[in-house]
Structure 1
Amino acid sequence: MAMGADQYHRWDELAASALEWWADAGVDALVEDDARDWLARPTRAASAFPTPAAAPIETGPTDYASYWAWRLGPTAPEQGWGNPILPPEGPQDADLLILVDQPNGDTLIGDIEGAMFDRILASIGRSREDVLIAGLAMARPLADTLSPDALPPLSAATERLLSLTPAKTVLIVGHTTSRAILAPDGAPVPRALHAINRTGRELQALAIAHPRFMMKHPQVKREAWRCLQSLLGGQA
């Protein structure tokens, strides 16, 4: 159970939202004999993926209490982009950290993408009130797309977060975020829940497609659900 969050929920509303997500995902059974990854080419098992080397971090705090003041302050990588740097959403001591690629409008993930994201959370019994949502970029880039040149300092700042967060599990949302954090060397991105080590600290990580991609490719919802089952104690 996440710390620092109001745990009161309308369970009838959560159940209805979860059922809506399952319907969107085309799920007609909780388990199948053969799992299928709709996006990935044939790869070795997730457990065989090496942990990528962390990006070098030369500055920044070494304690979580100071991290966000530094991350959102005058030396943030997004300073000078011309768009506001947004704060993280949710309790900072949450047990589940969710990383998206970049803000959507004036929130980290909102509008129709945010509505689908809320259904995804409801399908695993969670809500925005008991998870911490952060971005690889905490401000929207001027071209609406993160350039390759912008990624190294953003990855380094996110690596620092992963080394300090009190969360035990990180859900990485979107191809850009997954590639920057899990496979900067170009290796296939592991999707099933697996351990990653950041500066001697081990977290459980899981990658899924971004809701904006799911809306264009509905078949991906089913694969996302299979992956999310590992957060419920099943096998992705």
Structure 2
Amino acid sequence: MAGVDQHYNEQPSTLLSEKAIEHIPSLSKAVPIVETQPPPAIETQPKPLSPAMVEEIYPQSYRGFLEWLANPVNLVEGKWSRDICLPTGPMSPEIMVISALPERNDSGEHQLFNDLNQKLLSKMLAAIGCKSTQTYLASIAVTKPVDGTIEKDLWPQFKARMNHHIQLVEPKQIILLGDLAAKMFFGQDLLTARQKKQNINHFSSKTDAIVTFHPRILIERPQFKAEAWKDLQMLTRISGS
């Protein structure tokens, strides 16, 4: 019943006509037109480079590089552990053996290879006529992460550093051990990479290389020893040993 006593117009009219607006206090006053301004431009800061994108400058002498490598402040893996495992061996060796990571011995200390694996590795090298005095041992990372893996976005940085390392050492041939080392250097898993002799390009030079099983795997699965022997036969046998 509300509004039945109010006057109304029987003729149709436009609700927003000037007369109609005059009866609506909130619309009877002119509404100023405000020009909208475009939002201010937001200055975008460049994204910080990931560790893999940062180009490092390494010492150009072997002694200087080894001293640099011994300081965890310089190393991306320095946050994993301060227990650094440095490479060892002569310059211009017959064979440079590279594993992805050092190992922990029974005391929990880092070694390039524990005693058992080192003994088997020496036998493998002796089979192609290479003595321990002709062998240089190194790992791509000089400390070991808790989970035993290296994040993939760090692989280019580790590879670049090892290429510099190889250039300084100047080995005649290289043996890469294990699946992780194969993937980092050749983008292939162990079983694929070991099917042929590889080349490691380090700046202006390249060195013959093979990929084979880590001694740890051969101890756990002796049936692979025959396959490892086939891999070693791809290398040039060391003469005069």
| Fold shared, TM-score > 0.5 on shorter chain | yes
In structure 1, what is the equivalent of residue 69 of structure 2?
71
Paired residues of 2:98 and 2:139 also in contact (CA < 8 A):
yes
Tell me how far apart the structure 2 counterparts of residues 198 and 188 of structure 1 sit (CA, whole Å): 22
In structure 2, what is the equivalent of residue 155 of structure 1?
159
SS, match of residue 231 in structure 1: coil
Paired residues of 2:128 and 2:237 also in contact (CA < 8 A):
no
Matched, 1:60 2:57: yes
Could you say what the CA RMSD is over the residues aligned between the two structures, in angstroms?
2.8
Tell me how far apart the structure 2 counterparts of residues 129 and 92 of structure 1 sit (CA, whole Å): 10
The TM-score normalised by the length of structure 2 is 0.65
Query: Which one of 120, 124, 136 corresponds to residue 120 of structure 1?
Result: 124
Task: Give 1:180 deviation, angstroms.
Answer: 0.5
Task: Give 1:111 deviation, angstroms.
Answer: 2.8
Query: Which one of 105, 110, 117 corresponds to residue 114 of structure 2?
Result: 110
In structure 2, what is the equivalent of residue 82 of structure 1?
81
In structure 2, what is the equivalent of residue 222 of structure 1?
226
Task: Give 1:150 deviation, angstroms.
Answer: 4.4
Paired residues of 1:96 and 1:169 also in contact (CA < 8 A):
yes
Change (3 A) 1:91 1:165: closer
In structure 1, what is the equivalent of residue 175 of structure 2?
171
Change (3 A) 1:144 1:80: same
SS, match of residue 79 in structure 1: helix
Tell me how far apart the structure 2 counterparts of residues 212 and 158 of structure 1 sit (CA, whole Å): 22
Residue identity in the other structure for 2:214: H
Moved more, 65-74 or 94-103: 65-74
Paired residues of 1:57 and 1:156 also in contact (CA < 8 A):
no
Paired residues of 1:60 and 1:70 also in contact (CA < 8 A):
no
Tell me how far apart the structure 2 counterparts of residues 181 and 194 of structure 1 sit (CA, whole Å): 10
Task: Give 1:145 deviation, angstroms.
Answer: 3.2
- Paired residue total: 180
Alignment deviations for residues 61-84 of structure 1 (CA, whole Å, 9 cap, x no partner): 362423222233321122121241
Alignment deviations for residues 143-165 of structure 1 (CA, whole Å, 9 cap, x no partner): 23334354343222112223433
Tell me how far apart the structure 2 counterparts of residues 186 and 119 of structure 1 sit (CA, whole Å): 21
Change (3 A) 1:202 1:71: same
> Relative contact order (alpha carbons < 8 A, sep ≥ 6): 1 or 2 greater?
1
Runs of 4+ in 1 over 4 A off after TM superposition: 184-187
Change (3 A) 1:117 1:199: same
Tell me how far apart the structure 2 counterparts of residues 98 and 57 of structure 1 sit (CA, whole Å): 27
Paired residues of 1:83 and 1:142 also in contact (CA < 8 A):
no
Tell me how far apart the structure 1 counterparts of residues 193 and 217 of structure 2 sit (CA, whole Å): 16
Residue identity in the other structure for 1:60: I
SS, match of residue 161 in structure 1: helix
Task: Give 1:95 deviation, angstroms.
Answer: 3.3
In structure 1, what is the equivalent of residue 26 of structure 2?
none
Change (3 A) 1:215 1:86: same
Tell me how far apart the structure 2 counterparts of residues 119 and 110 of structure 1 sit (CA, whole Å): 14
In structure 2, what is the equivalent of residue 181 of structure 1?
185
Change (3 A) 1:184 1:164: farther
Task: Give 1:207 deviation, angstroms.
Answer: 0.7
Moved more, 149-158 or 136-145: 149-158
- Aligned-residue identity in percent: 23
